[in-house]
């Protein structure tokens, strides 16, 4: 995985949510890229934390 393509806000939100981080870490590379695509289009901090919370809940 190329950590340079992870948006800073996504990395920060992910680091604040252990369940989401664990879920994301175990995804296949293709799914990680799909989620990163969504993260790149997020326009607010609230949206980013919502995206990460959906990971923790297994909704993505």
**Residues 56 and 17: beta-carbon distance below 8 Å:** yes
Instruction: Look at residue 4 and tell me whether its pLDDT is greater than 90.
Output: no
**Residues 7 and 39: beta-carbon distance below 8 Å:** yes
Write down the domain spans for the chain: 3-56
Q: Is 1 exposed, middle or buried, given 0-12, 13-18 or 19+ CB atoms closer than 10 A? A: exposed
pLDDT bracket for residue 54 (50, 70, 90): very high
What single string gives the DSSP state of each residue in 15-53? HT-HHHHHHHHTS-HHHHHHHHHHHHH--SHHHHHHHHH
Instruction: Look at residue 1 and tell me whether its pLDDT is greater than 70.
Output: no
Taking all residues of the chain, what is their mean pLDDT, rounded to a whole number?
91
pLDDT bracket for residue 3 (50, 70, 90): low
**Residues 45 and 14: beta-carbon distance below 8 Å:** no
pTM of the model: 0.84
């Amino acid at each position: 995985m190329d950590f340079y393509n992870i948006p800073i806000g996504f990395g920060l939100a992910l680091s604040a949510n252990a369940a989401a981080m664990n879920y994301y870490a175990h995804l296949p590379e293709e799914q990680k890229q799909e989620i990163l695509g969504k993260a790149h289009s997020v326009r607010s901090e609230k949206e980013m934390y919502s995206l990460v919370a959906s990971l923790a809940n297994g909704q993505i």
